[in-house]
Structure 1
Amino acid sequence: MDPYDTEGDESERPLLRRGQDDKVERAPACCSARYNLAFLSCYGFFVAYALRVNLSVAMVDMLNATHHASPNQSSSVCPAHPSPARPKHNHTASVYDWDSETQGWILGSFFYGYILTQVPGGYLASRYGAKWLMGLGILGTVVFTMLTPAAADLGPGYLIAVRVLEGVGEGMTFPAMYAMWSAWAPPMERSRLLTISYTGAQLGTVIALPLSAEICFYLDWTYVFYLFGAVGMVWFVLWAVLVHNKPSTHPYISEKEKLYITNSLKNELSTTVSHIPWRSILTSRPLWAIVVAHFSYNWTFYTLLTLLPTYMSDILGFSIQQNGLLSALPYIGCAIMAILGGQLADYLRETRQYRTVCVRKAFSIIGMIGPAVFLVATGYTGCNYTLAITFLTISSALGGLSASGFNINHLDIAPSYAGILLGITNTFATIPGMVGPVIARSLTKNNTIEEWQTVFYISAGINVVGAAFYTLFGRGTVQPWAVPRSYTEGLLVDSQ
């Protein structure tokens, strides 16, 4: 047993020096700077994910009509669900003769840039502040998104380069935001604030998928990139004006809220990040527990994100263009459960009847094994469309609970280095986005229900393994290498 592991003391002292924190009076949530930050960052992640997924819809209109089937044709396993015919508007945007391999490279190129900046993003945010790293990361993604039509005209190589650069910019956003929350989120409000913040990712997916299809129909595919880019520009202006790195530098925060945040965090944050304990970080079992859980959860998430439209079209007979709401339902469920789960998780921790580690593990188990069960069940619904959509929605909704589990745990074990830790775990968690859909597509060449059952079993199995590993090795207290040395020594004396 690690002598620095003080998990056993958490029931009596779930936060470091709980007695001092008890004296801090909570500042109201309404109109507070920390909740303003939560909603602005939610808007930011909405933009980030809208820009990430809109190409998959626009691609349909970017291709020469001879390269994909007519909307009236159906090769689905189940009877098709035709929508009322609508006259096709005259479009002046260019179309391209890209084969399926080229399309695959274009759609997957984002992740090759995204994986490069995870760890550097966390490191730079810890050293130089998260505000501008987050802001400029999304601004870069916005700019390159608006250049997408011009790049496509120049050739697929240019479009791939633009998508890689979008990934580079967006790869810094999650680590930067974790670094920002390390200074802004009081320990007992972490689940609430972070789930509000990261629900933007789900909303971006929910809204961008059907809305991109409508923009393509009524205008043309180029406007998908121009309009979402404009929404991103508005976000950047608000972010630049209203957001500050720390409560101590915020000019409009109330003194009561500033004291509440800084006093609740003063015993958890290292006084300096000039020296980063890389060896301790990379050999930390609690960190690797999060890595495995994050990788496992994302395998299912990215498989569904990229292949759900395919499953609905090829098996169930639905088209994402015709039924945008049906494709969005799983993400709506995930967003709702993430927010509700955040409220419940912090309530359970505030009552002090449950240790932080118990809450994180319970939410991770439900948020990973629950989706696995309903994902497997989906494969046995046959052509019962209602039941299939219901099971897929329940699966994704339960997955939203993991946002209050392993997903926030970085801030529990090392708030000073949360951005770096998120960069490390998200690097591994990006790999499923690169290989998971490729493997799933190679297993479903004939688009039979049996092949899709295999895909669902693989995703479910990986989820269960991740949940089990995190349950064994996850922790809920600040690790000794993440706090000032003088205080760590005091903690060891106290716990002996």
Structure 2
Amino acid sequence: MKRFLVAGMCAVIKFLLYCTRINMSIAMIAMVRRRENTTNCSSNDNQLYDTSIPTYNWDEMTQQTVLSAFYIGYIITPIPGGWFSCCIGGKKALGLVLLCECILTALVPIATEVSINLLIAVRVLDGAVQGVAFSAIYVLLGKWTVHEERSIMVSIIYNGVTLSTIVSSHLSGWLCTAYELGGWPVSFYTYSVFGLVGLVVWTTLVYETPNTDPFITKKELELFMSSEERTNVTYSSVPWKAIFTSSAVWAIVIGYVAFDAAWYFSITEIPIFISSILGFDAKSTGILTSIPAIARLPVVLLSAACADFIIRRNILSILNTRKLCVIIDLGVAAVCFFIISQVGESLVAFIVLISITFCALGFNPPGLNTNSLDISPKYAGIIVGIATTFSSIGAFIVPVILGKLTENNNTFKQWSFIFIINAGILLFGMMFFLKFAKGEEQDWSKEGTEQEQEQKETTYLIKSE
């Protein structure tokens, strides 16, 4: 079942990329020794630090600048990255992304020691590299998915993100406090080595299309031939105007903006919240951060299986299935964020509510994230690139707002405002998607179908012979 191997390897790529992203948030706790404005800090906190490992006197605004710098680069590359991935292929694009990510991750400790500005520059480049990844993945998915399995395929990939939250939270927390190994710098070197190993496996096992995979079975190849998917597509004439003026595309874009603002806030800022407001060290923060991700892990696959079952049995249309998932995804998360803004200073209440939030966001893959393949399997990579670009703006702005709110006043009351802002963004994204989303392939995506189908059939006949 090579299509599931491809999805699994894409999940590995996302796992590795997100591990490096989450590691920055966990490492930040060890990089900055200050414990002002915390309520649960142990009197022995200062003993947790080894003076031989560098720490920095960064205020809240500086910390948020370092974290948000990633999204400056992340805004720039998704659209050109989608086009680039279409031209050279998703496999090569993702391989280049992972290679560059390994290099940049290893440079973080060196850049930090030189200057804060160099660290910010590395973070911007890191974001620019990772901005290509999702677009490249959807270029591959457009060639390796069949209609009835889109939800589960996308969910397998997004579970790589969930697993990264669990693994990186624990591993980064342990590495950052393992002073005998070198403390927080060694966490970045560790993930860089993991990435290089993943790159070797990726280049060995993954092929661009079913037709070019020498190990695919004839039965599985026939499955792609009998589906509506087109595995041989030319990208010399992308209908940019039609894509940018499509209400179906903008429904996805606005949905992405809402989801990513909440999701990136959760994986980037929640460790900081647990540390600075609830008062835990890096190791404990890593453990607490993993709890919501563990709760989310089965939800992602179960929601996808249910969505595909509903579509396969014609219980609901494709569009209504996607809308139901988005209501649970964005709607429930919005309610939880609002409640957190009122009672989140309690550790138990916070962990319970943020876990429910993560579970609700687990309905995103079979809902919002699969919809680009519904409306255009041919240009899904480009659509996701557009959506990622716009959603990164929100992911960049939220940390900046948080930094302004908590500068010299890092209290729960200030954090509560950002939870309310996120709740409002989620509700707006949900309503916009429900109004404008579509569930069928759009006319501008079907142009050139006959010619491409003839090319695909010719390729299949040659391979069969």
Paired residue secondary structure (2:284):
coil
Q: What is the aligned partner in structure 2 of residue 252 from structure 1?
A: 215
TM-score between both structures, scaled by the size of structure 1: 0.84
Residues 274 and 285 in structure 2, CA contact (< 8 A), matched pair in contact too: no
Paired residues for 1:403-422 under 5 Å: 403-422=365-384
Q: What one-letter code is carried by the residue in structure 2 that aligns with 1:262?
A: M
Residue among 272, 279, 297 paired with 1:310: 272
Q: 1:89: Cα distance to partner?
A: 7.6
Match of 1:60 in 2: 29
Q: Distance in 2 between matches of 1:353 and 1:150?
A: 56
- Deviation sequence 1:152-210 (CA, Å, 0-9, x none): 23322322222222222211110000010000011110110111112112221222123
> What is the 5 A alignment of 1:188-203?
188-203=148-163
436, 441, 449: which one aligns with 1:473: 436
Q: Which amino acid aligns with 2:213?
A: H
- Match for 1:259: what amino acid? E
Alignment-derived partner of residue 330 in structure 1: 292
Amino acid at match of 1:355: S
The amino acid of 1:188's aligned partner reads E
Aligned to 1:210: 170
Describe the SS at the equivalent of 1:380. Answer: helix
Counterpart of 1:113? Answer: 73
Q: Could you say if the C-alpha distance between residues 366 and 61 of structure 1 is closer, same or farther in structure 2, counting changes exceeding 3 Å? A: closer
Residue 144 of structure 1 and its aligned partner are, at CA, apart by 1.4
In 1: Cα distance, 2:273 partner to 2:107 partner: 31
How do residues 31-430 of structure 1 correspond to structure 2 at under 5 angstroms?
A: 32-63=1-32, 65=33, 68-69=34-35, 75-76=37-38, 80=40, 82=42, 88=48, 92-96=52-56, 98=58, 100-218=60-178, 219=181, 220-266=183-229, 271-381=233-343, 383-430=345-392
Q: Quote the Cα distance in structure 2 between the aligned partners of 1:254 and 1:464.
A: 45
1:371–1:394 contact (8 Å) kept in structure 2: yes
CA contact (8 A) 2:373 2:380 kept: yes
Q: Identity of aligned pairs, percent? A: 33
What one-letter code is carried by the residue in structure 1 that aligns with 2:31? M
Find the counterpart in structure 2 of residue 435 from structure 1: 397
Cα 1:453–1:100 shift into 2, 3 Å: closer
Task: State which drifts further: 97-106 or 373-382.
Answer: 97-106
Decide whether the 8 Å contact of 2:177 with 2:283 is kept in 1.
no
Q: Specify the SS of the correspondent of 1:178.
A: helix
Structure 2 stretches lacking a partner, 5+ long: 452-465
Q: Which has the larger radius of gyration?
A: 1
CA distance in 1, matches of 2:58, 2:344: 34
For the structure 1 residues 80 and 102, does the alpha-carbon distance in structure 2 shift closer, same or farther, using more than 3 Å as the test? closer
Contact 1:337 1:401 survives alignment (8 Å): yes
Report the CA distance between 1:465 and its aligned residue. 1.1
| Greater percentage in helix | 2
Q: TM-score under structure 2 normalisation?
A: 0.89
Greater Cα shift, 45-54 or 99-108: 99-108
What SS does the aligned partner of 1:415 have?
coil
Amino acid at match of 1:340: L
- One-letter amino acid matched to 2:78: Q
Instruction: Report how many aligned residue pairs link the two structures.
Output: 447
Q: Report deviation, 1:273.
A: 2.3
Give, in whole Å, the separation in 1 of the partners of 2:345 and 2:239.
54
